[in-house]
Structure 1
Amino acid sequence: MSTVKNGSAIFSGFRALGLYSNHLAHVLRFHKKHGEFYVVTAVGQCFHTYNVKKLGIVAVSNSLPEDISCIAADRMLVYAAHGKLISAFAKNKEVVHTYIGHEADVHLLLPFGDHLISVDRENVVIIWDVESEDTYLQISFDKVSFEVSAVMHPSTYINKVLFGSNQGSLQLWNVKSNKLLYTFPGWASAVTVLQQTPAVDVVGVGLATGQIIIQNIKIDETLMKFQQDWGPITALSFRTDGHPIMASGSPIGHIGLWDLEEKKLVSQLRDAHTTAITGLTFLHSEPLLITNGADNAIRVWIFDVAGGDGRLLRHRMGHSAPPTKIRFHDQSSMHILSAGQDGTLQSFSTVHERFNKSLGHGSLNKARAKKKGVAHDTAKLPAIVTFASETARQSDWDGIIACHRGFLVATTWNYQKGSIGAHKLEPERFNRNRALSVHATAVHITSCGNFAVIALSSGHIDVYNMQSGLHRGHYGEDKAHAGPVRGVAVDGLNQLTVSIGADHLLKIWKFKSKELIHTHSLPNAPACSLLHRDSGMLAIALDDFVVNILDMETRRIVRKFSGHRGQINDMTFSPDGRWLITASMDCTIRTWDLPSGSLVDCFLVDAAAVSLSMSPTGNFLASSHVDGLGVYLWSNKTLCGMVSLRPLPADYEPTVIMLPGTCPVQDTEEDDVVELDSSEMAEYISPEQLAEQLITLSLIPDSRWKNLLHLDVIKKRNKPKAPPKLPKAAPFFIPTIPGLVPQFAVPDTTNEGQSKVVSLGVLSQKSTFYIQLEDALENNSYEKPVKLFKEFGPSAVETELRVMSPEMGGDVKVMQSFLKMISSILKSNRDFDLAQAWLALFLKLHLRLIAEHSELLEEAENVSQQLKEAWLTVETLLNQNICVLTYIKSALL
């Protein structure tokens, strides 16, 4: 029987990084109480809310079952269409209404007072009552003559809605009386955008031909026309701060700025986005323009320069194509370096988005790229396939090295400057014949940050100096491997270099002399490798989906992990080297425990993980996935609570977990209750004693018993130099009876005239421990006195042992009972350290007295015999463990 588990035992979804926008237009909202604008963008199955002031994320909505196809908002709610359904969100997070009735996918939404207008792909328009979720009106258009492509509410037009069509005509409807008021013949081109202008009765119409029509719908007159040369109009917006400017969006990422008084194009924002402009909105009465595009970016532009040009004020930008490689950059676990298929190298912060930065796009000529722009750079480099980074010398020179897809030259990058670095590392042996299809396959930087090791598909491995970029040698007489090199790494002390190649060989070289010292044959061709420098463990993923672990010290394969059913994409070690986490094309993420050699955690994701990286502090696992633009963080649950990890059975079936940031937070009561197998461990509570034959120490702090033999020295050292002085205004204290246990003295009013001489009988009062020892001598049960004595501090223990002697009012019988108590502790094999300390102090105080009384001497001999037996047991166990450890070490060596 397989053990049923609910998801992952180690990792839980935390949040997504680098997701900001998709192909849907954003929505702008104004919060009257806050006096602040907020922008809402759709991201997959949920939407994000940002404040415009700093573009800081405010809220992430709960996810929907499908991707959002359209989004709109009014003063109170945010509406999101997904498939045939429409959901209304309150407080930017929770679904409060669901509108069911469409028989086709919804693609247009328009909030309309207390109602919501929606249009589906079958040309059906439904007007909903927002609160009751009932259908107020339904209109069906003929797809042949009027296919709805845009909808808007003209300002001051009560109960009127304007529809635009793919045929080019417009229709004005009164939705209260369900009447068609007027049909505008149009301009024989599909209407893509309808936008209200600041003037009443005037509407901006964007067409698929790139034409913009400013139309007076009251008198059906065209006031002005503009022609955009960049394709269809994707968005329109008008300034309302006193400047007659209209902005238009295009499918190639340009924004045109038109002067409505002079009727001409006055400015352009070229390459505002790398993809189509999906939404642009001028803030009310402010010179700010917000844009978003399918390139996963939100930008805020400000128009504060002469001539009407806009400049970029702030932005949030992620990868416009899926990331291929991610790695935590430094030891703080705060920055993740990510290389994407869009050719950029970016840094995402796990703390706050304001610390994100882009290191830009790789280029062979940085100056020319800066002058011409990335889009027109002819020397633009392909996307980064893999990279390595070190922070040891990043303040002095470049600390990142990357190799590009199908490209021979490896590039350096500077994290602090946020740009491509100074060196383009290319071996001289290929200068004469550049036609060879040789490219860099793997890179590595030494822990000191001084050297870079670059492996090539030709089998060569070269070493370069990171500061100067000079070639410092290569491995092997001619080549290091007979085929492409799949992985290369250098240990933490720059002593050994290990490389793996497609020739099924693993080779270990001396880093400095480049001498080959060991060769190991692999059973299959390796796909990639990863070295954990602290432990010296090298993980090698093979093409048969098996992971081998090689110990660099013994140079032997110490572990083999099999179970993946697809190509292994990436691997990462936990900081302590105990876990190896692997991601495969079979959509699983597996955690292997190296000491036990077993699989301890496995879960499925919807899209296969392409890259993995565990944070240096062990609190996060970062992952990037196929066709996903974000970097996803998983929190390590073992740092926050008790997690019992057990080897998973061979027939274990993992469950699918939704990616972080796209799944709603659900109460545990709502989750399906999964009955655990009887063998599943609950919270473990350690027993007082593991086995009776073992010696158990107490859990009492060392300060309670270690200094018992040195109390006289401590008291002498802490003795005050001057006697205490009585304060002038001493507070009133209730009189107490002298003795070991403080008790309040009851005033005796009957004998006021008697002598004030203290009676010695009062001082000989017995303590609770003394009384319990007397009782134990009769019933031979010492559990109560032992439990009580363990609560005493060092001074109290000494006092109790001193008053046992007959000179201090004690009794020999009680001393004999104390020795029996020590004997009972030794028999139980518990509190071994406490028994030794108490017995040592007792002997120090009463050694002469024990020699004078035969019953005490006899009891002391019994205790001595038990001590010998206990120590013999401990010594035997220690010797056995030492022998086992010595044997294991000799077997490994």
Structure 2
Amino acid sequence: MAAEKGARGSVLFTGYRSVGVYSNHLPHVVRYHKKHKEYYLSTAVGKSFLTYNVSKLGQVAVSNALPEDITCLAASPTLVFASYGTVLKAFSRNKEVYRTYKGHDAEIHLVLHFGGHIISVDTNSTVIIWDIRSEEEYLQITFDKSNFAVSAIMHPSTYLNKILFGSEQGALQLWNVKSNKLVFTFSGWQAGVTVLQQAPALDVVAIGLTNGKIVLHNLKFDETLMTFQQDWGPITSISFRTDGHPIMAAGSPIGHIGLWDLEEKKLMSQMRKAHSTAIAGLTFVHGEPLLITNGADNALRVWIFDGPGGQGRLLRFRVGHSAPPTFIRHLGQDGKQILSAGRDGAMHSFSTVHDRYSKSLGHGSKNKAKAKKVGLRCTSLRLPPVVSFASETARQHDWDGIIACHRSRLFCTTWNFVRSTMGQHKLKPPTLKSGTQGIHATAVEITSCGNYVVIGLSSGNVDLYNIQSGAHRGCYGKDRAHDGAIRGVVVDGLNQMTVTVGSDKLIKFWKFKSKQLMHTVDIPVSPTCSLLHRESGMLAVALDDFTIRIFDIETCKLVRRFPGHNGKINDMTYSPDGRWLLTASMDCTIKVWDFPSGCLIDCFLLDSPVVSLTMSPTGDYLATVHVDDLALYLWSNKSLYSLVSLRPLPSDYEPLVVMLPGASEEIEEDVVEVVDASEDMMEYESPEQLAEQLVTLSVLPESRWKNLLNLDVIKKRNKPKEPPKIPKSAPFFIPTLPGLIPRFGSEAQDESPQSKIVSFGVLEQKSAFCVQLEESLNNNNYDDPLKTVKALGPSGIETEIRNLAPEGGGSVEVMQSFLKMIGRMLETKLDFELAQAYLALFLKIHLRFISSEATLVEEVSVLSANLEETWLHMQTLFNQSLCVLTYMKSALL
């Protein structure tokens, strides 16, 4: 039964998209769109590729995901080609699969667009030329891998039907692919070929070698024009400027770029550490002084050469973590920014709205002044990665609003989001020195006012600082707060209480200002981490036995106990209303716990464990980061835009694996299956009466009954100053009669003015409501009169009730029948507020007449007893509900 229920996946969340990934180790491709008159570049990120416009470096498209990681990219003016495994696919509109090419026996590692054909080369040095439209194989060339392993490929300009192949052995071959003949063989330069690039001059090709040499060779005369030597290892990519400057750029495996002057035949300048990893690809935009580079460090940069000396400066960039992120939290209450810290030691802020709002806060430095002189690329000055941080936006425009603790470091650093840099303070206890006996910071918290910071250490000390001045404001406890390492520290929303969680199996509650210990709670197992929801005062503590306990910081008592996971709990987050607790564990699951019911309401399994997660303050997205993954994944909260049926899940619930956003398997056109999202929803129809013990309100709008007692005041206020005037000409539209239900008036209208003499025959005629009350007095069925009065407006109800008296055309029997109708409504407990409103108006109008009739006095006495009994029952239900709510909040379970 559990396995059957687990087949539905996640009930609350569905994959939306990934953020924070821009590039990997594959070279980018640039193409020019003639219709848009704009350059676009595409970069591979796992199973998909992203497309950006070069003008603003804004993301314009994300391709459909392939079954495996992309191994090679190529582009034509209208299509983008991506290969995975032995398959090559063509994408149209940067997204949809247009053509599929299958025929290789080994993995494809080179792809080249060639007119109406596409050329693919696999690792067995088998070359296949495909017709793009028909998907048919045009030509196949097989090289002996031991003698000529194809490592580079290009089409020389103006060489009709000619393709140049470079090999790992160093030789080059020029082939005519139309006649399938070898035209010429170049002996090479005793080093493997890594790059082939067409130079701006005809017949000239730049050849990059594994020994760091760059050879400019004339193919027509088989003559070497010039040779350059690069000392940074093999050449990874080459590009030429085409805007009138004879400059060649070459990439290296360590992230440097060399700029060579082709006229002077010398190195003009160097762009050191353009990327922190190998330069995957670099391309000069045709006719513009712009250089596009990408690397495996998850960075995409555009450089402009507009200064003296030919040195390029950074113009635009998209940068993410070069190593997997380990800790994320939302910044502020709008849910638009996610702060992230990764193993690369950098702090980033990713926008959920648009990439242009994302930014990098840089790396932490040991000496900020020295780092400014030598540059932050000096790795010796960098601090270790951030393991935890806390942020607050209340005073971020005045001073630093982020506090972070680093791995194996005693001091904590402050950061400024507005200036996108590390702050000026390094906070550490004045009595301890850095590195003292291996003591380091383990937990940090910033108050909601943005003025104070609380830091917990591995020695058990908990210290308070002012973040504006960096001054130490005291510590908790005489010697130290706990006898073991601090696993969590939180402060309530009003700066009244500080709660510390230590590895000594104790939770201590302190007064924030006086630092006096108020209460101590023992827990059976050492805690792993803690999280406080400030609005509700609920403190969640994850234990080493993988269970979770919830404490109320007002009463200092345990209020919930959840069984937890089957592995170490990595992180926790609350829903904005504090109703749900979301936990992530090393067992690769994310679980959602409901506080009011104390049950597990959702659970889904992922391919890799979640390292950290955070719920948006607006409740629209859940963000997760995973082991060995550079991306931040956003999950959409389905309960905000659709009806979600939440059911308690059994203890043996076995969830199915949910694919990460952007990593879903490709769906073939002939096996598309439509899944009804509401398949497991329970169809619920509200009964007319919810329960015999409860009262049920009507569905009528308040305007029908709420102002019945104040109609005289409303009529006096709305009385017109002048009588209405008859229009000289009839309106062009069909006239309607006044009332709750629109009705058209009769076509024939009497143009003569209406007489002011009232006909007594109208007063003598009884209304339908009055007739129905008379009939109900005999058959004891009051459905018809109740239905009639519910269809009337406030003025109509008052007129009908006023005419129940004998002077209005009614009788004592009709008034008695009306009171019986109210009594029936109270007995059935239906339309409770209508019964109260009708009875109040009836007594207001006819109270004197009722007191003079014995029959009506007796009926009112019976009705009064019934009404009092109903109100006493209602009060009892209210008291019971209040008791249950109080017990759920404060009682010890």
Q: TM-score range, shorter-chain basis?
A: over 0.9
Q: Give the deviation of 1:275 after TM superposition.
A: 0.8
State whether residues 147 and 165 of structure 1, in contact with CA within 8 Å, keep that contact through their aligned partners in structure 2.
Answer: yes
Q: For 1:624-663, what aligned pairs fall within 5 Å after superposition?
A: 624-663=625-664
Counterpart of 1:792? Answer: 792
SS at match of 1:368: helix
State whether residues 33 and 78 of structure 2, in contact with CA within 8 Å, keep that contact through their aligned partners in structure 1.
Answer: no
Letter paired with 1:263: K
Q: Distance in 1 between matches of 2:737 and 2:226?
A: 106
Q: Deviations over 1:556-583 (max 9, x none)?
A: 2222222412111111111222211111
Q: Deviations over 1:77-101 (max 9, x none)?
A: 2111111111211111111222221
Q: Distance in 1 between matches of 2:736 and 2:101?
A: 79
Q: Give the deviation of 1:476 after TM superposition.
A: 2.2
Q: Distance in 2 between matches of 1:322 and 1:739?
A: 68
Counterpart of 1:297? Answer: 299
Q: Give the deviation of 1:610 after TM superposition.
A: 0.6
Q: Give the deviation of 1:67 after TM superposition.
A: 0.7
Counterpart of 1:593? Answer: 594
SS at match of 1:4: helix
SS at match of 2:443: strand
Q: Give the deviation of 1:367 after TM superposition.
A: 1.9
1:44 aligned to 40, 43, 46, which one?
46
Distance 1:88 1:852, change over 3 A: same
Q: Deviations over 1:134-171 (max 9, x none)?
A: 22222111011100001111112222111110011111
Counterpart of 1:246? Answer: 248
SS at match of 1:441: strand
State whether residues 464 and 473 of structure 1, in contact with CA within 8 Å, keep that contact through their aligned partners in structure 2.
Answer: yes
Distance 1:209 1:639, change over 3 A: same
Q: Distance in 2 between matches of 1:209 and 1:443?
A: 50
Counterpart of 1:564? Answer: 565
Q: For 1:464-613, what aligned pairs fall within 5 Å after superposition?
A: 464-613=465-614
Counterpart of 2:415? Answer: 413
Letter paired with 1:144: S
Q: Give the deviation of 1:551 after TM superposition.
A: 2.0
State whether residues 549 and 557 of structure 1, in contact with CA within 8 Å, keep that contact through their aligned partners in structure 2.
Answer: yes
State whether residues 737 and 745 of structure 1, in contact with CA within 8 Å, keep that contact through their aligned partners in structure 2.
Answer: no
Distance 1:474 1:758, change over 3 A: closer
Q: Distance in 1 between matches of 2:602 and 2:619?
A: 16
Q: Give the deviation of 1:746 after TM superposition.
A: 7.7
SS at match of 1:307: helix
Q: Give the deviation of 1:855 after TM superposition.
A: 6.1
Distance 1:876 1:405, change over 3 A: closer
Q: Give the deviation of 1:493 after TM superposition.
A: 2.2
Q: Distance in 2 between matches of 1:887 and 1:74?
A: 69
SS at match of 1:524: coil
Distance 1:672 1:524, change over 3 A: farther
Structure 1 window deviating more from structure 2 (817-826 vs 329-338): it is 817-826
Letter paired with 2:796: A
State whether residues 527 and 541 of structure 2, in contact with CA within 8 Å, keep that contact through their aligned partners in structure 1.
Answer: yes
Q: Deviations over 1:577-633 (max 9, x none)?
A: 221111111111111112222211111111111111112122221111111111111
Q: Deviations over 1:115-144 (max 9, x none)?
A: 211111111111112222222222111011
Counterpart of 1:277? Answer: 279
Q: Deviations over 1:331-386 (max 9, x none)?
A: 11111111111111111111111111111111121121122122325332111111
Counterpart of 2:722? Answer: 723
Distance 1:728 1:719, change over 3 A: closer
Letter paired with 1:128: W
Structure 1 window deviating more from structure 2 (306-315 vs 851-860): it is 851-860
State whether residues 548 and 557 of structure 1, in contact with CA within 8 Å, keep that contact through their aligned partners in structure 2.
Answer: yes
Letter paired with 1:528: C
Q: Distance in 1 between matches of 2:798 and 2:570?
A: 67
Counterpart of 1:337? Answer: 339
SS at match of 1:430: coil
State whether residues 583 and 610 of structure 1, in contact with CA within 8 Å, keep that contact through their aligned partners in structure 2.
Answer: yes
Distance 1:453 1:671, change over 3 A: farther
Distance 1:848 1:484, change over 3 A: closer
State whether residues 348 and 362 of structure 2, in contact with CA within 8 Å, keep that contact through their aligned partners in structure 1.
Answer: yes
Distance 1:398 1:134, change over 3 A: same
Distance 1:739 1:133, change over 3 A: closer
Counterpart of 2:437? Answer: 436
- The answer to whether 1:367 aligns with 2:332 is no
Counterpart of 1:268? Answer: 270
State whether residues 275 and 293 of structure 1, in contact with CA within 8 Å, keep that contact through their aligned partners in structure 2.
Answer: yes
Q: Distance in 2 between matches of 1:854 and 1:538?
A: 65
Counterpart of 1:114? Answer: 116
2:31 aligned to 29, 32, 42, which one?
29
Letter paired with 1:794: P
Q: Deviations over 1:716-771 (max 9, x none)?
A: 22223x3246478554699999999988568699xx9xx99875445766655455
Counterpart of 2:706? Answer: 706
2:257 aligned to 255, 262, 271, which one?
255
Q: Distance in 1 between matches of 2:92 and 2:409?
A: 51
Q: Give the deviation of 1:321 after TM superposition.
A: 0.6
Structure 1 window deviating more from structure 2 (177-186 vs 799-808): it is 799-808
State whether residues 587 and 606 of structure 1, in contact with CA within 8 Å, keep that contact through their aligned partners in structure 2.
Answer: yes
How many residue pairs match? The answer is 887
Letter paired with 1:26: H
Q: Give the deviation of 1:44 after TM superposition.
A: 0.6
Q: For 1:209-248, what aligned pairs fall within 5 Å after superposition?
A: 209-248=211-250
SS at match of 1:429: coil
Counterpart of 1:319? Answer: 321
Q: Give the deviation of 1:387 after TM superposition.
A: 0.9
- The answer to whether 1:94 aligns with 2:96 is yes
Distance 1:704 1:316, change over 3 A: same
Letter paired with 2:109: H
Q: Give the deviation of 1:826 after TM superposition.
A: 2.3
State whether residues 321 and 629 of structure 1, in contact with CA within 8 Å, keep that contact through their aligned partners in structure 2.
Answer: yes
SS at match of 2:135: coil
Counterpart of 1:392? Answer: 394
2:17 aligned to 15, 18, 24, which one?
15
| Structure 1 segments unaligned to the other structure (5+ residues) | none
Q: For 1:160-175, what aligned pairs fall within 5 Å after superposition?
A: 160-175=162-177
SS at match of 1:375: coil
State whether residues 557 and 890 of structure 2, in contact with CA within 8 Å, keep that contact through their aligned partners in structure 1.
Answer: no
SS at match of 1:846: helix
SS at match of 1:424: strand
RMSD (Å), alpha carbons: 3.0
Q: Distance in 1 between matches of 2:436 and 2:869?
A: 83
Letter paired with 2:558: I
